[in-house]
Amino acid sequence: MENEFDYFYDFVYRELNINLRYYKDTQMQRRILSVMRKSGATNMVEYSKLINKDEKIRKEFIDQVTINVTEFFRNKDMFEQLENLIVKELSLKFSKLKIWSAACSNGSEPYSICIMLDRNNLLNKAEILATDIDNEMLTKAKKGIYKESELKGLDDSQKKKYFTKEGEDYRISDIFSKKVIFKKHDLLLDKYEKDCHLIICRNVTIYFKPDVKDEVYKKFSESLVSGGLLFIGATEGIYNPREFGLKKVATCIYEKM
Ligand SMILES: C[S@@+](CC[C@H](N)C(=O)[O-])C[C@H]1O[C@@H](n2cnc3c(N)ncnc32)[C@H](O)[C@@H]1O
Total count of residues recorded for the chain: 257
pLDDT digits (tens, 9 = 90+) for 70-96: 999 999 999 999 999 999 999 999 999
Rounded CA-CA distance 41/60 in Å is 13
Please report the atom of ligand 1 found closest to the CA of residue 189. 19
Rounded CA-CA distance 26/193 in Å is 31
CA 231 / ligand 1 centre spacing (Å):
14
Mutation to probe ligand 1, out of 75, 128, 133 (largest number of atoms < 8 A from CB)? 133
Contact 163, 62 (CB under 8 A): no
Of the candidates 171, 80, 126, the one whose C-alpha atom is nearest the C-alpha of residue 162 is 171
Q: Is 132 left (phi over 0), alpha (psi -120 to 50) or beta?
A: beta
CA 186 / ligand 1 centre spacing (Å):
9
Cα distances from 31 to residues 3, 35, 39, 63, 132, in angstroms, run 17, 6, 13, 10, 20
Q: Is 66 in the pocket of ligand 1 (CB under 6 A)?
A: yes
Mutation to probe ligand 1, out of 82, 105, 151, 180 (largest number of atoms < 8 A from CB)? 105
Contact 140, 107 (CB under 8 A): yes
Give the domains, in start order, of the chain with CATH numbers.
2-66 (no CATH), 76-256 (3.40.50.150)
Q: Is 74 in the pocket of ligand 1 (CB under 6 A)?
A: yes
pLDDT at 176: 98
Rounded CA-CA distance 172/113 in Å is 13
Instruction: Please provide the DSSP assignment of 152-190 as one string.
Output: TTS-HHHHHHHEEEETTEEEE-HHHHHHEEEEE--TTTS
Contact 243, 227 (CB under 8 A): no
pLDDT digits (tens, 9 = 90+) for 6-61: 999 999 999 999 999 999 999 999 999 999 999 999 999 999 999 999 999 999 99
**Residue 102 three-state SS:** strand
Residues 6+ apart with CB under 8 A from 119: none
pLDDT at 237: 87
Q: Is 202 in the pocket of ligand 1 (CB under 6 A)?
A: yes
Which residues is 170 bridged to in the sheet?
146, 165
pLDDT at 3: 86
What is the model's pTM? 0.96
**Model confidence at 1: pLDDT above 90:** no
Q: Is 203 in the pocket of ligand 1 (CB under 6 A)?
A: yes
pLDDT digits (tens, 9 = 90+) for 190-241: 999 999 999 999 999 999 999 999 999 999 999 999 999 999 999 998 999 9
